[in-house]
Amino acid sequence: MRKKWDIKLEVLGGLLALLWLAPFYLMFVNSFKSKKEIFMDTISLPAEWNFDNYITAFEELDFMRTLFNSLLITIVSVVLIIVFSAMAAYALSRAKSKLSTVLFFVFVAAMLIPFQSVMIPLVTVFGQFEMLNRGGLIFMYLGFGASLSIFLYHGALNNVSRSLDEAATIDGANRWQVFWYIIFPILKPITVTVAILNIIWIWNDYLLPSLVINTPGSETIPLKMFFFFGEYTKQWHLALAGLTLAIIPVIIFYFIAQREIIKGVSDGAVK
């Protein structure tokens, strides 16, 4: 039976979609207006598409540098999380023993701990070891991100037959080779999910970088955005241009990897 088309439903969907996009529309059109124009009218298109606000916001946000910081921290953290979590999940799933079960349980249980519960000692301890910098931040992301990633990899690995490991071992491959040449490539779908979940989280994270990064010039986008917004609270035209700039990289990412993103997020939540 083919699905009939329901025009009323279609119109309703369209209207809701417009409602959903309205905040982005309002941000976008007002980011081109002058302060006075915003005061007069926040709904209509700008009288002229003036890029002055963007030039100021771009400079004030030190945008290229901030973007680079966000990219650097996100990419390095996510790569480390993938590599080390996949390896750990492999060890835990292949060496079946009480110890593995306990360790797996510890990793999963750690997911229950909200950030605020460890934040204060974490910052003090890392501060004492002069680790409140980008390196320290990446290490912390590994610690916080490992649990969910191991959990997801562990689930996927239980469906990968051990006979593959055995065959490769008989052919003379060592553990390292078996894992990287045979097993890891099979895990690609879950690797995409792990990557996406961690990218979204780390890219948007504000609180942890705000506590860890305190050298000017090392700020990530959310962090810089917070300072920028604080400075321009009463100047919405500049604030909105800055917000639009901050969102652009995410929109590009969404357009490129839309299918993988939605699939990854739904897999991550349901499992």
Near another protein in 198-237, by CB under 8 A: 200, 203-207, 222, 225-226, 229, 236
User: Can residue 75 be called a binding residue for another protein (CB under 8 A)?
Assistant: no
How far from 123 is each of 55, 142, 149, 198, CA to CA, in Å?
A: 36, 16, 24, 22
Binding mask 80-119 for another protein (x = CB under 8 A): x---xx-xx-xxx-xx-x-xx--x--xx--xxxxxxxxxx
Residue with smaller CB distance to another protein, 218 or 236:
236
Q: How far apart are the first and last CA of the chain?
A: 32
**Residue holding tokens 């680079």?**
68
- Nearest of 139, 154, 148 to residue 111 by alpha carbon: 148
User: Can residue 158 be called a binding residue for another protein (CB under 8 A)?
Assistant: no
User: Can residue 197 be called a binding residue for another protein (CB under 8 A)?
Assistant: no
Q: Given phi > 0 = left and psi -120 to 50 = alpha, else beta, which region is 217?
A: left
User: Can residue 139 be called a binding residue for another protein (CB under 8 A)?
Assistant: yes
Least gap, CB of 188 to another protein (angstroms): 19
Least gap, CB of 130 to another protein (angstroms): 14
Give the range of 50-58, 59-67, 77-85, 185-193 binding another protein by CB under 8 A. 77-85
Angle at 108 between CA 128 and CA 188, to 5 degrees: 100
- Give the distance, in angstroms, between the CA of residue 54 and the centroid of all CA atoms in the same chain: 25
Among 124, 159, 177, 214, binds another protein (CB under 8 A): 124
Least gap, CB of 239 to another protein (angstroms): 7
Least gap, CB of 218 to another protein (angstroms): 18
Give the range of 47-55, 57-65, 173-181, 186-194 binding another protein by CB under 8 A. 173-181
Least gap, CB of 173 to another protein (angstroms): 12
User: Can residue 179 be called a binding residue for another protein (CB under 8 A)?
Assistant: yes
What 8-state DSSP symbol labels residue 2? P
Among 61, 67, 187, 239, binds another protein (CB under 8 A): 239
User: Can residue 184 be called a binding residue for another protein (CB under 8 A)?
Assistant: no
What 8-state DSSP symbol labels residue 178? I
Hey, what amino acid is at 238? L
Among 75, 175, 180, 260, binds another protein (CB under 8 A): 175
CB 57 within 8 A of CB 228: yes
Site for another protein in 42-71 (CB under 8 A): 42-43
Integer Cα distance of 187 and 244 in angstroms: 36
Residue with smaller CB distance to another protein, 2 or 185:
2
Q: Furthest-apart CA pair in the chain: how many Å?
A: 77
User: How many residues of this chain bind another protein (CB under 8 A)?
Assistant: 92
Least gap, CB of 67 to another protein (angstroms): 14
CB 87 within 8 A of CB 179: yes
How far from 23 is each of 43, 200, 238, 241, 244, CA to CA, in Å?
A: 11, 20, 17, 14, 11
Integer Cα distance of 87 and 105 in angstroms: 17
